[in-house]
Structure 1
Amino acid sequence: MSTSTPPHRTAAGPSRANDDDFARRRTVLLHLLREHLAQYAVGAPLPWSGQLADWLGQETHHISAALVQLDQMGEVVYGGRHRVARRLGPNEQHPDDVALDQAVRAAIASGAYRPGDPLPTAILASRHGLDLTKVPRAFRRLIKDKLVAHRDGPAGPGYYVLPQPGS
């Protein structure tokens, strides 16, 4: 059994050039997929990843990974409890994020969360069936509406409630 390191890797792992190449290919694939998905109406069902892979000349697992990334960015609904993938509109909230968004808004309005309070993102995500990687997507509207901000604060980096006009 050989213990030598393959030529494209160092003892510490993949080379920096391979990491850069992977990132570049991922960016190109996301662009290609976005361009293709633009032909589908907002809300319309999207083809399954195998069909998209065939049409785009890519491997199915790469298309699936790109769709997962677009889902995390809030551009499509893909996977999880959703049987059919679909495009989201530019200002449309991901359906998985609605309950968390409403709960945070209600807690801010009721005074349960006050200006400067850090939001318990792990607890909120768990309570609303979201993975922690989806929290930035779920908080986009709250940030846009200037209810919360992501910053370094007394409890460390995280989402904090902002002061509201008239409060």
Structure 2
Amino acid sequence: MSNWNPLDRALFLVRRQISIAHPPGTSVPSTEQLARVLRLPKTHVHRALQRLDTLGEISLHTGSFPVRLRPHEPHPRDRALHGAVRDRIRAGYYLPGQALPTGLLGEEFRLRPHHVQRALRFLVAEKTLRFDENGAYGPGHYVPVESMEAVA
């Protein structure tokens, strides 16, 4: 770990501290508290927390403290997009084989591109969507042909 850059080291230490001391569903200490315990600069701890939020391991801005998410639990800010995409597939708005307009969805739900990707990974896991590197319209998320059975 000595040859890691400072932000990677901070991410490792913050993730380890959270996983050891804070069960899923519980609050995580503040940036200041974690920085003090881990003896790291607050800016590094803050960036590590932001990265864990982007990865969907914690949720920032859910109250006064971050919350550690349960495994396979969608991020609270992703739930609206997650539900809307599922509902739109069920309603036939997105058709089998269609590429999902992730940029437009990000704008609609006020999510950054990496947060859209975080939200869609749950739909991929449940086979409501599929990610295809070589899709008909380029790399992206597509509604599978068998999607109507998956979301019914």
Percent of residue pairs identical: 34
Residues 15-46 of structure 1: CA distance to partner in whole angstroms, max 9, x if unpaired? xxxxx853xx4433222111100211322221
Change (3 A) 1:166 1:154: closer
Query: Which one of the candidate residues 24, 46, 52 is aligned to 2:34?
Result: 52
Deviation at 1:70, TM superposition (A): 0.5
Q: What SS does structure 2 have at the residue aligned with 1:156?
A: coil
Partner residue, 1:71: 53
Inter-partner Cα distance in structure 2 for 1:129 and 1:84: 22
Change (3 A) 1:51 1:45: same
Query: Which one of the candidate residues 109, 118, 139 is aligned to 1:128?
Result: 109
Is there any run of 5+ residues in structure 1 with no aligned partner, and where? Answer: 1-19
Which structure has more relative contact order (CA 8 Å, sep 6+)? It is 2
Inter-partner Cα distance in structure 2 for 1:98 and 1:130: 11
Is there any run of 5+ residues in structure 2 with no aligned partner, and where? Answer: none
2:28/2:66 contact within 8 Å kept: yes
Aligned-partner residue type, residue 65 of structure 2: V
> Could you tell me the TM-score, scaled by structure 2's length?
0.86
Inter-partner Cα distance in structure 1 for 2:139 and 2:108: 21
Inter-partner Cα distance in structure 1 for 2:79 and 2:113: 15
> Could you tell me the TM-score, scaled by structure 1's length?
0.79
Q: How many residues align?
A: 145
Change (3 A) 1:31 1:21: closer
Q: Mapping of 1:1-167 within 5 angstroms?
A: 21-22=4-5, 25-38=6-19, 39-79=21-61, 82-151=63-132, 152-164=134-146
Structure number with higher helix proportion: 2
